[in-house]
Amino acid sequence: MAWSIPGFAVERPSGVAGTAEGWCYTDRFSYFPGETINIHTHSTVASYTLTLVRDGIHQEMVWSSGNLEGAAHPTPANAYAVGCGWPVAVTVPVSDHWKPGFYLLIMKYEHEGRVHEREHFAVIKRSRSSEPAPLALILTTSTMLAYNDWGGGNHYRGLGDDPWEDVPSALSSTQRPIARGMLRQPEGAPRSSNPSTPGPGYVPRHPAYEYAHAHGYSRHYADAFWGTYERHFVRWAEKEGFELDYLTQHDLHEDPHVLDPYSCGVVVGHDEYWTHEMRDAAEGYVDRGGRLARFGGNFLWQVRLEDNGQTQVCYRTPQEDPLTASQPSRVTTAWDAPVVGRPAARTFGLTGLGGCYNRYGAAAPRSSGGFTVYRPRHWAFADTDLHYGDVFGAAPFNIAAFELDGVDFTFRKGMPEPTFVDGAPETLQIIAMTPATLGEEDEWDGAVPLGAPVTEFLDAIAAIYGDDLPERFMGECYGAGMIATFTRGLGEVFTAGSTEWVNGLRLSDPFTEQITRTVLNRFIETSTGSDDQNATTFSKTTA
C-alpha cells in the first residue's frame, strides 16, 4: 500500500499481487446542494464501504454505501502531476438537508481480520437561495495541494533518481487522493512546532517528522490543511456559537465575488499558496467593505491553476517558469519577487519573507512561543487584561511558532513601526510581535537533519532577486512574526501572522480565545455599520 524512500512512506498503488489497498478522491473540492459528488476509487480488495461524515465538534454521518465492488485501475507513475485517471465508481447527490461544512469521505475495507481506512473530503457550500452565515471559512486548498505527496511528489520533493535529493514537482493534481494524516490524525499527533523548551546542548528535533516516519504517515501530514489547522478552528467556533459557511481557495479563484454575501472572510492555519485570482477576490472584497480575519501564516507564493482548475502550477524559481518572458506578473514564485511586482503585504498586511520560523528545529528553539504585546489599547486586545510587554500564547500553547509572517520594521518610542519598504499598507499597525528566523543554521556540520536550512532560503532569495538583493535581506537572517491590522478601501483586515494561532484555540489559551472572539464579533458588527470601521483603538473595557 506504500513504498518507501529512506525515512518516509509515500502512498501510491504498489502493483504487487495480493496487496490489499484502496483509495478514493472526488472530482471537485466543493459542491452546492443539488449537485453530484463523483467519487473515483481504486481497490484491490473484493468490497469496500464509503461513508460521508460532516466533521466538527460533533460528527454527523449523512450518507453511506456498503458492499461496493472493488476494482483496481492503472495509475500513472506521475499521478501526483497528471492525476490518477481512475473511473467514477460512485455518485452521491448532495442533499438540500446537509449542513454547510467540511465532510470527510471515508473508504473502509477489511483484509485478514484488520480494518483499513483512507479518506478524502468534500466541502458543502450553502445553497445560493438561503441566507448566508455571517462568517465564511476559506479552506486552504492550494496550500494542501502544494504539500500533498500522494503518488510520490509535491511542490517540495519527489523527483530525481537520488531519494535523498529534494527535487520538487512544478505540477500538483487535484485528481488524486490526499496523503495520510492531512485530513485525520490520532489525538496527540505532534505538530510542526516543537512543544518543549530545550536545555543546554540542544540537538534539533522535528517531532512531526519522527512521528510520520514511525507510524507511516505522510512526511507532510502536519504541514497543511484540515487535520492540523482548520478542524480545530471549526470545533472551537462551533462551541462558541459562531455560524460558519465554507468555501475553498478554489472557490475564490473561480468567482471574484464569492465573498460578497458575508460579513467576514476567515483564513486559518497555513495559507502559503494563492493564485492571482484568489488574491484579487480577497482584495476586491475588502475594498468593497468586507472584513478579513486571518489567523494564519506564511503568505508567500503565487501559483497558477490550469486544466480547468485540476492542475496547480508552482515553479518557485522564476527562471524556470515558461511564462517568465510572456506574462511575468503570473510567474509562479514569491509574490515579493520583482518579476511579479505584487508584494504579499498588500493583501494581508504581512509577508512570509518578513518571518519566518520559530520553535522549529534549530530556528529560535527557546523562544517563548508567544506574542509580546506592544499596543495594548488596540481594539483587538479588549477584555484581555493584556498590558504593554505582556506575552500571551507562550509555551505550552505555542501560538507563535512554526511559520510566521511579518514586515520590515523599526522601533519608535518603544513601539514597532513598519518601514514600508516591502509594500506594507500605509495604515498598517503592528500590535504584537515575536522573534523569527529565515531558516535553521547548521551548527552540527551536516550531522543533524534540518527541516528548513537557512541556505535554502538564501538560495531562493538569490534566484528571486538576482543581483538586486534588497537591503533587508543582507546580513543576519532574522525577522519577526507579527499581529497587525489595517484598513483598505472600505474594509479592514486583521492578521495574526502565525500558522499555529489555532493551537491556542485547541488548547484553550484564554488570551488567544478572547482576541479571536473580539475580532470575529467586531467584524460581524462593523459589516452592518454598527461600528467605526476606521477605529484603531478603544477602551479595554469595551465589548
Specify the CATH number for the domain of residue 325: 3.40.50
144 phi and psi angles, rounded to 5 deg: -60, -45
Q: Which three cell numbers stand for residue 146?
A: 502544494
- Is 489 inside a domain boundary? yes
Q: Which pLDDT does position 17 carry in this prediction?
A: 79
C-alpha cell at 393: 500564547
Residue-averaged pLDDT of the chain: 93
Cβ of 201: how many Cβ atoms within 10 Å?
5
pLDDT of residue 5: 43
Mark whether 274 and 148 lie in a shared domain: no
Place of cell 493584556: 386
* Three-state secondary structure readout of 149-206: CCCCCCCCCCECCCCCCCECCCEEECCCCCCCCCCCCCCCCCCCCCCCCCCCCCCCCC
Integer Cα distance of 176 and 361 in angstroms: 31
Whether 119 and 262 share a structural domain: no
* Average pLDDT of span 292-317: 97
Rounded Cα distance between 57 and 494, Å, is 25
The rounded distance, in Å, linking the Cα atoms of 134 and 290 is: 11
Residues 168 and 277 in one domain: no
Same domain flag for 346 and 488 = yes
Is 40:26 a contact under the CB 8 Å cutoff?
yes
Q: Which of 99-113, 161-175, 337-351 has the lowest mean pLDDT?
A: 161-175
pLDDT of residue 186 exceeding 90: yes
Sign of CA dihedral 180, 181, 185, 186: positive
Helices (H) and strands (E) counted in the chain, each on its own, are 10, 27
Report yes or no on 74 lying in a domain.
Answer: yes
The reported pLDDT for the residue numbered 165 is 66
Claim to verify: residue 383 and residue 482 sit in the same structural domain: yes
Q: Are residues 143 and 261 in the same domain?
A: no
C-alpha cell at 338: 520583482
The DSSP output letter for 318 is G
Q: CB–CB of 105/127 below 8 Å?
A: no
In a domain, 185, yes or no: no
Domain count for the chain: 2
pLDDT of residue 8: 78
In degrees, rounded to 5, the angle at the alpha carbon of residue 365 between the alpha carbons of residues 448 and 356 is: 95
Q: What gap in Å lies between CA 518 and CA 94, rounded to an integer?
A: 35
Q: What is the mean pLDDT of residues 346-373?
A: 96
Pairing mode, strands 135-139 and 22-26: unpaired
Domain boundary among 173, 195, 212: 173
Q: Which pLDDT score, from 0 to 100, does residue 161 have?
A: 66
Q: Looking at the structure, tell me whether residues 281 and 134 fall in a common domain.
A: no
pLDDT band, very low/low/confident/very high, at 2 (cuts 50, 70, 90)? very low
pLDDT at 162: 58
Asked whether residue 318 falls in the same domain as residue 461, the answer is yes
Asked whether residue 127 falls in the same domain as residue 259, the answer is no
Residue 222 lies in a domain: no
**Using CB atoms within 10 A of its CB, is residue 483 exposed (0-12), middle (13-18) or buried (19+)?**
buried
Q: Which of 173, 199, 217 is the last residue of a domain?
A: 173
Which H or E element spans position 74?
none
Same domain, 277 and 129: no
pLDDT surpasses 50 at 341: yes
Q: Do 275 and 147 share a structural domain?
A: no
Give the CATH number for residue 30.
2.60.40.1930
Mean pLDDT for 193-221 is: 93
Query: 378 and 473 in contact (C-beta within 8 Å)?
Result: no
- Give the list of residues 6+ apart from residue 408 with CB closer than 8 angstroms, or none: 354, 418, 419, 420, 421, 422, 424, 472
pLDDT of amino acid 502 = 98
Q: Is the pLDDT of residue 331 over 60?
A: yes
pTM higher than 0.75: yes
Read off the pLDDT of residues 239-254 as tens digits, 9 standing for 90 and up: 999 999 999 999 999 9
Domain that holds residue 106: 2-173
Residue 533 in any domain: the answer is no
Across residues 466-492, what is the average pLDDT? 94
pLDDT surpasses 60 at 63: yes
Band (467; pLDDT cuts 50, 70, 90): confident
Q: Does 540 have pLDDT greater than 60?
A: no
Instruction: Output the pLDDT for position 527.
Output: 61
Q: Is residue 280 part of a domain?
A: yes
**Residue 230 domain flag:** no
53 in Cβ contact with 198 (< 8 Å): no
Grid cell locating 538: 478603544
Looking at this protein, which amino acid is placed at residue 20? A
Tell me the C-alpha distance between 29 and 34, whole Å.
15
Tell me how far apart the alpha carbons of residues 413 and 415 are, in angstroms, rounded to a whole number: 6
**In-domain check, residue 152:** yes
Is 19 or 65 the better-scoring residue by pLDDT? 65
Q: What is the pLDDT of residue 23?
A: 98
**Considering Cα of 233, then 238, then 241, then 244, what sign does the dihedral take?**
positive
Q: How confident is the model at residue 90 (pLDDT cuts 50, 70, 90)?
A: very high
Confidence at residue 535, expressed as pLDDT on a 0 to 100 scale: 39
List, for residues 94-150, the tens digit of each pLDDT value.
999 999 999 999 999 999 889 999 999 999 999 999 999 999 999 999 999 999 999
Separation CA 132–CA 141 (nearest Å): 21
Q: Where does a domain end: 140, 173, 206? A: 173
Whether residues 267 and 136 share a domain: the answer is no
pLDDT of residue 163: 54
> How many Å apart are CA 147 and CA 153, to the nearest integer?
9
Contact between residue 125 and residue 100 where contact means Cβ atoms under 8 Å apart? yes
C-alpha distance across the termini of the chain, in Å: 54
Q: How far is CA 74 from the centre of its chain?
A: 31
Mean pLDDT of the 20-40 span: 98
